[in-house]
Amino acid sequence: MNFIATIVLTGALLISAAAPSAEPVLTKQGAFSWFTLSETRQQAAAILGPPAATTAFADDLESWQYKRGGTDGHDYSHALVFRKSTGKLVSITRNWEPEQLVDAFFPPAETKVQLAPNTPTPFGARVRRLSGGRLLVAMGSMKAGQPTGQLLLIAESEVRHFIPWLTTTSQ
């Protein structure tokens, strides 16, 4: 019996550690876990399934949009952006309606708040630098306790192309 239990437990641990989840989570150790941004289109499709829509934009980008629970039916719950030329995953966005608290993903010691310049009302984001050259961004959430409708995981090297104001303040 111990042998079988060991095999089942080992298999469960390997499965849970091997593949990213469609949803951002904290591990039991408290580490942030979602995509690494090294996933291929095939790996992304294995996690999220086939996209509801795809859109080519700019010279070299393609977006995959998904409708998976928690949206109002008009918006997409997830959007992935790939470079067409390399197949590289550049970013993944999780949209929520209603907005969600994401404080657990943004420890104060690892989080900076950046404000968009020249906006009629203050708008900004909480930003956390992660391993692998990734940034985690809670759009419109500028402090703990303030929910967000959009969580973005993006390659730091790509931020200037998508959200240039995030590069105006050093991290």
Tokens standing for 83? 């470079």
pLDDT digits (tens, 9 = 90+) for 20-74: 688 999 999 989 999 999 999 999 999 999 999 999 998 899 999 998 765 455 5
Under DSSP, the state recorded for 29 is T
Q: pTM for this one?
A: 0.83
Inter-residue contact 27 to 33 (CB < 8 Å)? yes
For the chain, the domains span: 2-167
Separation between Cα atoms, residue 95 and residue 137, nearest integer Å: 12
For 80, half-sphere exposure in the C-beta direction (CA atoms, 13 angstrom radius) is 31
Separation between Cα atoms, residue 25 and residue 132, nearest integer Å: 17
pLDDT digits (tens, 9 = 90+) for 87-128: 999 999 999 989 999 999 999 999 999 999 988 988 999 999
The CA-atom distances, in angstroms, between 90 and each of 18, 52, 64, 111 are 20, 19, 12, 21
Tokens standing for 143? 């402090």
Separation between Cα atoms, residue 152 and residue 162, nearest integer Å: 11
